[in-house]
């Protein structure tokens, strides 16, 4: 996947908690062919046609009322609210599918993502263990102005 290969190793580590050079077949399938009853993936792009480039990805996957979320934004576009916008849209999709909360595990050094989740406008609960912050976002019936 061209968008994955464009990420710097540090961003890949923050997203996957490990260094990797390629997405697994299962990871790629989940992004390109989501099970609409339990998964969703959204992208942010720039350009159009042959010049269209993915610069951000947000996804959720889960069973029942809870789903795990994850994001990746290309380094040149970080800090522009892309993850927050993807989160808002994912929350709308999730609510429509009966999801009541999002869960995320974020490395403590990933302050941009922690800030995006903490300032999403959604009620947040978090705990920390072994360098990982576990965040629960309660979707409720609407979302604040993140």
Q: How far apart are CA 126 and CA 114, in angstroms?
A: 10
Token pair for 3: 């968008």
Domain hosting 45: range is: 2-138
Distance CA 66, CA 146 (A): 21
Q: Which CATH number fits the domain that encloses residue 19?
A: 3.40.630.30
- Is there a contact between 89 and 58 (Cβ–Cβ < 8 Å)? yes
**Domains in the chain, number:** 1
pLDDT tens digit at each of 146 positions of the chain: 666 666 666 666 666 666 667 767 777 676 666 666 678 889 999 999 888 899 999 999 988 899 999 998 988 998 899 999 999 999 999 999 899 999 999 999 999 999 999 999 999 999 999 999 999 999 986 544 43
Query: Is there a domain that residue 80 lies in?
Result: yes
Residue 78 within any structural domain of the chain: yes
Q: Would residue 146 count as lying in a domain?
A: no
**Among candidates 54, 109, 113, which has minimal Cα distance to 87?**
113
Per-residue pLDDT at 51: 86
User: Does the residue 108 lie in any domain?
Assistant: yes
Please indicate, yes or no, if residue 143 is contained in any of the structural domains: no
pLDDT at 144: 47
């Amino acid at each position: 996947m061209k968008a994955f290969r464009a990420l710097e190793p540090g961003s890949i580590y923050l997203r996957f908690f490990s260094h990797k050079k390629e997405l697994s077949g299962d990871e790629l399938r989940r992004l390109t062919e989501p099970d609409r009853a339990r998964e969703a993936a959204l992208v942010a792009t720039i350009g159009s046609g042959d010049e269209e480039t993915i610069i951000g990805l947000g996804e959720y996957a889960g069973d029942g009322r809870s789903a795990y979320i994850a994001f990746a934004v290309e380094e040149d576009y970080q800090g522009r609210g892309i993850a927050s916008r993807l989160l808002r849209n994912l929350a709308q999709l999730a609510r429509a599918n009966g999801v009541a909360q999002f869960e995320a595990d974020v490395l403590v050094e990933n302050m941009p993502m922690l800030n995006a989740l903490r300032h999403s406008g959604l009620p947040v609960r978090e705990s920390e263990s072994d360098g990982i912050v576990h965040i629960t976002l309660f979707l409720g019936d609407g979302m604040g102005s993140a």
